[in-house]
Amino acid sequence: MKVGVIGSGDVGRRLGHGFASQGHEVKLGTRDPKKKEVQAWLKETPGKVSAGSFSEAAAHGEVVLLCTLGSAVESAIGLAGEKNFAGKVLIDVTNPLDLSKGMPPGLFVGTTDSLGERVQRRLPQAKVVKCFNIVANSTMIDPRLKEGLPTMIIAGNDAGAKKKVAEILAGFGWETPVDIGNIDGARWLEALTALWVRVAMSVGSWTPGFRVLRQ
Amino acid sequence: MKVGVIGSGDVGRRLGHGFASQGHEVKLGTRDPKKKEVQAWLKETPGKVSAGSFSEAAAHGEVVLLCTLGSAVESAIGLAGEKNFAGKVLIDVTNPLDLSKGMPPGLFVGTTDSLGERVQRRLPQAKVVKCFNIVANSTMIDPRLKEGLPTMIIAGNDAGAKKKVAEILAGFGWETPVDIGNIDGARWLEALTALWVRVAMSVGSWTPGFRVLRQ
């Protein structure tokens, strides 16, 4: 499968590496293909990988991952080109973290909206699935922690896209995700990240996770 | 210890029963002491228990629990009397659920405020601790589920009050809670409840829980 990654920060590189390790053809989208983290990623990532602009990465992907800073989402989509998302699964990993007042962060999108919804509205033809945003990038692939396996929780409007994401998650070592419904569920997944940061600060670990105990 | 419970719904009766079972002297505050649920609670709850007005319950408690509907918090505090909370541990179990658009609920207090903070501002002399609001009332006491033990997460400005709440939690079968800091953390604990409802709807259980995996 061809995978396009929008954003070459820690999250994008980590997920890109994970998809490449599963045999997928990954193009890492970046504002600066020459920067050293991207060049290092190209060397250390197995399989058929490449780097390019946001637009090239979005065009490349059958599945596209949105991995920018929350504050960069709008500009990144503009650079990537709306048409390059049409009809595709778009995995939105972003969080609207507001760090203007230091740590821990607030959210710049509130409880009546979310970045997931904004992305879906901006790209009505894309099949947006909120996923991966609730864990540290270091536990997105091979998520098992010493204390157990966290639960991925996803949201999105398209059942087929969520099925695809569940298959991807299974390949990465996750259990079947908890599907909380349409993309408006993203507002609570984004809020969970704000809680996650506080929990991380409290327990003194930057890889905590939440496990859903179903009953 | 004398415990006052503000609110005689499912949550207040459940927690009141729990405290009474631990040997505490519980007064259940209600708008209608004669209603059948309150009368049944008085009969079936062990130990030295009583019912009274919100004001009587608040005055009675050395520790006070706020267990009303989120929408009733302001009026309940007014009825209970601000002075009756001064210097006391106040455990805030409320959620600002907005059900005006049906299920799943939104929140009527957003990510820059919370009911926990509103309560603390309204009662500056009280030592508000957000606690218990993230689980079903049926798992507040003896919280162990088939799939494991959920984690309680608390927030509040007063270290002593949180220590007291941690002792209470231990008596009820909880592990040491995760303390996410000052009462503004309540905004994320309240948002977690919105997520909890969606998770419950997804997994088909009204007693799911979140376990924090620390590492």
What is the ipTM metric for this complex?
0.84
Whole-number Å distance between alpha carbons of B158 and B176: 17
Q: Is A147 on the interface with B (CB under 8 A)?
A: yes
Average pLDDT on B94-100 reads 85
pLDDT of residue B171 exceeding 70: yes
Residue B110 confidence (pLDDT):
67
At residue A113, the 3 state secondary structure works out as coil
Pick the closest to residue B105 from B201, B208, B186, B7 (CA basis). B201
Contact residues, chain B, for A113 at CB < 8 Å: none
Mean of all residue pLDDT scores within chain B: 92
Question: Is residue B17 helix, strand or coil?
Answer: helix
Per-residue pLDDT, averaged over A117-141, amounts to 89
Is it the case that residue B103 has pLDDT exceeding 80? no
Note whether B148 contacts A: Cβ–Cβ < 8 A: yes
- Render A92-118 in DSSP notation, one character per residue: E----EE-TT-SSPEESS-TT--HHHH
Beta carbons of B191 and A195 less than 8 Å apart: yes
| pLDDT, average across residues A1-25 | 95
Give the three-class secondary structure for A27: strand
State the pTM of this model. 0.85
Is the predicted pLDDT of residue A60 greater than 70, yes or no?
yes
pLDDT(B170) > 70 = yes
Phi, psi dihedrals of residue B101, rounded to the nearest 5°: -110, 25
Contact B195 A153 (CB under 8 A): yes
* Most confidently modeled range among A118-132, B24-38, B86-100: B24-38
CA of A193: which chain B residue's CA is closest?
A: B188
* φ, ψ for residue A10, nearest 5 deg: -55, -45
CB atoms B106 and A111 under 8 Å? yes
Is the confidence at residue B209, as pLDDT, over 80? yes
What pLDDT score was predicted for residue B10?
Answer: 93
Q: Mean pLDDT over residues A89-105, rounded? A: 85
C-alpha A150: how far from chain center = 16
Summarize the confidence of residues B174-186 as an average pLDDT: 95
**Partners of residue A154 on adjacent β-strands:** A179
Phi, psi of B30 (to 5 degrees): -150, 155
pLDDT at A175 over 70: yes
* B104 interaction partners in chain A (CB closer than 8 Å): 181
